[in-house]
Amino acid sequence: MKLLIIGGGGMIGQKLASRLATDDRLGKHEISELTLFDVVSPAGPAGAPFPVHLRTGDLSNVDEAQALVDQRPDVIFHLAAIVSGEAEEDFDKGYRINLNGTRHLLDAVCSIDGYLPRVVFTSSIAVFGAPFPDAIGDDFHTTPLTSYGTQKAIGELLLSDFSRRGMMDGIGIRLPTICVRPGRPNKAASGFFSNIIREPLAGAEAVLPVSEDVQHWHASPRSAVGFLLHAATIDAAAVGPRRNLTMPGIAVTVGEQIEALRTVAGDDVVGRIRHVTDEKISRMVSGWPRNFRADRATSLGFQADASFEQIIRAHIDDELGGTIG
């Protein structure tokens, strides 16, 4: 089985590649080769028992999309995107990458007669816009209030329509905010959710730009990889014509995040969080969804973390070698 990860240099792409290298198979099928593609040079997973090809390029270039698909991968993981804050600040760049790049990829798949790969598209809970019910169910409408959310919602519609017409076998997964993200802060407006956990655990100060009563929907990087693997192997007939699914997660307030950090790591670590309100971020966050009932995904076997404490402990084990700074 040939696999392609677009956005393979990113955090989730790298963790997915590492998991595939460890498993040496996807579902019931052995992996024959893996291609990682990104705008910056991705790193190959250590010890992979199959050939790994590393490619760089821009998916918004139609020729790049076609060259990737011409290799006829059996499963395509489409993870590449400009993150929320950057897509809002740079309108043209957001649409060029998040919309045009996706369209080029889907068009390239459809250009090959008899080719029907599984395409796993990472969407986002940003496809939903306020006002919200207490918990957003599977039938809630998609009315995004950001450019990023709009771009992802359009991608969902394209994936559904192309799959309906038998041009591909697509599954879209709306990821919760992934927390705790390792590495350096990025331009995602949601980055502070990870920063207030990651930096204190590493012995550094973190700035909290919103009030502690802000509630949000989270899943760990471990869960995100699990979602992708399950989406790649799930029976499309069980999913049915509604090809886009909200992934399960944990709804917690920022205050509950901080208390979970206190339980796991103690008062000294929590004391490294500094409250500095950012009105721009606070306004943006006020229009984000807070809680979900991901009944369809759960019934189809997608599984998330049991608690925010579990999310923190997973970060300590996976990124800090089990040691708190």
What CA–CA distance (Å, rounded) separates 22 from 14? 12
Q: In the structure, what pLDDT confidence band is assigned to residue 324 with cuts at 50, 70 and 90?
A: confident
How distant is the alpha carbon of residue 232 from its chain centre?
Answer: 14
What CA–CA distance (Å, rounded) separates 10 from 47? 19
pLDDT at position 38: 97
125 DSSP 8-state letter: G
- Quickly count: other Cβ atoms within 10 Å of residue 321's Cβ: 7
Q: Name the class of domain 2-176+220-246.
A: alpha beta
User: Any idea where the domains of the chain sit in the sequence?
Assistant: 2-176+220-246
Q: State percent of the chain over pLDDT 70.
A: 99
Spell out the alpha helix ranges (H) of the chain: 11-23, 62-69, 84-89, 91-94, 101-110, 147-164, 191-201, 221-233, 236-239, 254-265, 267-270, 279-286, 295-299, 308-319
Active site residue 115: no
Tell whether the model's pLDDT for residue 284 goes beyond 90: no
Phi and psi torsions of 68, nearest 5°: -65, -45
Per-residue pLDDT tens over the stretch 95-134: 999 999 999 999 999 999 999 999 999 999 999 998 999 9
Nearest CA among 253, 267, 248, 249 for reference residue 311 = 249
Q: In the structure, what pLDDT confidence band is assigned to residue 183 with cuts at 50, 70 and 90?
A: confident
- Sequence-ordered list of residues with C-beta below 8 angstroms from that of 291, at least 6 positions apart, any chain: 132, 134, 135, 136, 215, 217, 251
Compute the mean pLDDT over every residue in the chain, rounded to the nearest whole number: 95
Per-residue pLDDT tens over the stretch 55-74: 999 999 999 999 999 999 99
Average pLDDT over residues 187-209: 92
Characterise 120 by phi-psi region: left (phi > 0), alpha (psi -120 to 50), beta (else).
beta
Tell whether the model's pLDDT for residue 323 goes beyond 90: no
Question: Which amino acid is it at 95?
Answer: Y
Candidates 95, 128, 148, 288; catalytic one: 148
Among the residue ranges 10-24, 61-75, 81-95, 266-280, the one predicted with the least confidence is 81-95
pLDDT at position 283: 86
Buried b (16+ CB within 10 A) or exposed e, 30-67: ebeebbbbbbeebebbeebebebeebeeebbeeebbbe
Residues in the chain, overall count = 325
Q: What is the CA radius of gyration of the chain?
A: 19
Average pLDDT over residues 257-269: 98
CB 126 within 8 A of CB 148: yes
What CA–CA distance (Å, rounded) separates 109 from 66? 8
What CA–CA distance (Å, rounded) separates 149 from 125? 8
Tell whether the model's pLDDT for residue 75 goes beyond 80: yes
